[in-house]
Structure 1
């Protein structure tokens, strides 16, 4: 990354000191365990969908009533949402996890992902949990953890970073899953993300740092516009680095934001059936809220997403999405550019179409649109605020995957 203070490293959630993790998956059911060797400060953010899974409700209660957490247990294959006896099943998962790890039940957080409205197959989940515990006692394996929570994901998602403070290393690592039903709005995002860090920090500080990171990453990412019932981000901080947050606030905030942003970009790149990734920067807005409204409107637009799939530099769809976003704009001032992260070309400048039929700009834009990663820049020229959102294209494969999801 560009910030010389922070270095990208391997091993994801087990990169920070004092954390163990592993996972086991067979067929569509998997379980991942993340364990802090000592009590850790915890924070979480969750879906704002009014239909929410039992693990979401239970984990909220646990975080509210307990300052310290030791473990996270997560399963794939079943969302444990809108099901009879789902809360009892979630509590049973926590109880069994606590028993295996020999820790208090109120120090275990839980998350689930998979099909909504189907009862948890507890015999299968307990089997996967026991197998995960057995291999956890023998080794740490970050990749197994990331793979165990995958559903329609094409690849596991993990990253980690480190920086130094007075000769001591601070690390932040994470794993995530998600490919469809991604349009999170986690205020206090199916998409799961689990982060570990060895910083010394109190809960209020950790919560604020996490929320800011989530706002700039997962809450600015869209695959299909559907908000899941299970979206969850957890972070555990065990203090094992010996470095206090107050001594490195700015750098730590950058580090956790980087981890969240990279995982969010991986999720969007792995959108169900996606062939292309888009990064949309809206700058020159009067307010941050306007910048976010406009950038999110573009990545949400089905017409923009299908144009991306067809390699069509249809700037009209982009400006239309900005226009109905609710952000303040003047169509006679706006600039629109398309690039491939190496070069950019104007489609619209000062409200005037530049990339007209047969122009060099349109020919260049058509070539750029053939790339797998596209950057769209919209300059509103009304102020100094900006926001970047992340999205993907929408094609035939998305329909196939989701039409066959429960069959």
Structure 2
């Protein structure tokens, strides 16, 4: 997979412990247009704050580490983030402000700057042979598999590539983006158009998933477009903009679904659809309440067709609900009709649906025309085990 004008590298810096790749670098040979969305958590990590300062101007480099979030580390954290960007910029011969940083891992511990500083020359040297897949592995924390997707398109008859990686398995309920996601494209795209497309794509992908209802201090989703494909500039109102937007959305949604499937200890991938709500916003509100309910998620794990937990979640979601009009389905099995048990063999057939690794829960509120779809996982014993031992 080649994205023209981009180079990649990943090395072992032993940020948390030795034995794995944990420091990655994405480098654009020419300045790239950048768009990003960040966590809405009021506690933001130093790398998020630094990126928020710099995104908006063209950039050329992004350095990312796993194992340490560099969050809640005070003034030292900002100094370390700036120093990391400075060292990478110096090594690449680019301006300091053209380098961005990102981190993921344990909160509240300073970065081991001695080890990161020592690894940066090797990181830069590795740009000649590294791949985006290397970085997808370097940003993993509790992930069980790397997440990488590519798409191809064309504008004005000129082909271009969009490629992306993401990490995330726990602390997942985005309110902008989630986890970390880095997208690169050699397409030439107007910066304002790129910003709109990327924000809308995040809203309909990363913003419709939940594993455990937690929004991280480090959530960052970012796209770089360097124009190395030399296509005619993609701008607002052009057919090419719609096609590019479709590719970006499709890529992000695939990455988002992979995150849910990799949810810490997850055994189920569940699609939640709420139909005929009073508005799209209230449909999403109700769907997220279902997706985040611990009782619903544990019922999914236990394969218990307890539709009562679902209607209860809808009831407290804040969405407009007429309890005498709600229908609930597990795939094509109707569990509730007008707010009461559908009867017959619904319990048995519903349990059979929940035995599947993937299924859909549909809730019809019948109070309007708003519809929303979100994606979630179950909550298993392993989720507790993983997070009880996360720092050790």
TM-score (norm 1): 0.90
2: CA distance between counterparts of 1:265 and 1:101?
35
Q: Quote how far apart the aligned CAs of 1:146 are.
A: 0.0
Match for residue 388 of structure 1 among 362, 373, 389: 373
Secondary structure of the structure 2 residue equivalent to 1:207: helix
The match for 1:285 is 277
Contact 1:29 1:125 (8 Å CA) reproduced: no
Match for residue 57 of structure 1 among 17, 40, 49: 49
The reply on whether 1:201 has 2:189 as its aligned counterpart is yes
Contact 1:23 1:146 (8 Å CA) reproduced: no
The reply on whether 1:69 has 2:59 as its aligned counterpart is yes
Match for residue 97 of structure 1 among 88, 99, 103: 88
The match for 2:346 is 361
The reply on whether 1:22 has 2:14 as its aligned counterpart is no
Q: Quote how far apart the aligned CAs of 1:58 are.
A: 0.5
Q: Quote how far apart the aligned CAs of 1:255 are.
A: 1.2
Secondary structure of the structure 2 residue equivalent to 1:391: strand
**Cα separation, partners in 2 of 1:129 and 1:30, compared to 1, 3 Å:** farther
Tell me the alpha carbon deviations over residues 209-252 of structure 1, each in whole angstroms, 9 at most, x when there is no partner: 11111111111111111111000011001122314323312211
Q: Quote how far apart the aligned CAs of 1:296 are.
A: 0.8
2: CA distance between counterparts of 1:398 and 1:405?
10
Secondary structure of the structure 2 residue equivalent to 1:96: helix
The match for 1:225 is 213
The reply on whether 1:235 has 2:223 as its aligned counterpart is yes
2: CA distance between counterparts of 1:238 and 1:29?
26
1: CA distance between counterparts of 2:145 and 2:293?
25
2: CA distance between counterparts of 1:125 and 1:168?
40
Tell me the alpha carbon deviations over residues 69-115 of structure 1, each in whole angstroms, 9 at most, x when there is no partner: 11111000100011141111111110111122221111111100010
Contact 1:275 1:393 (8 Å CA) reproduced: yes
Match for residue 371 of structure 1 among 335, 353, 356: 356
TM-score (norm 2): 0.93
The match for 2:245 is 253
Contact 2:10 2:130 (8 Å CA) reproduced: no
2: CA distance between counterparts of 1:88 and 1:405?
26
Match for residue 331 of structure 1 among 297, 320, 323: 323
1: CA distance between counterparts of 2:187 and 2:97?
22
**Cα separation, partners in 2 of 1:34 and 1:271, compared to 1, 3 Å:** same
Q: Quote how far apart the aligned CAs of 1:68 are.
A: 0.8
Unaligned runs of 5+ in 1: 1-10
The match for 2:15 is none
The reply on whether 1:183 has 2:173 as its aligned counterpart is yes
What is the number of equivalent residue pairs in this alignment?
A: 382
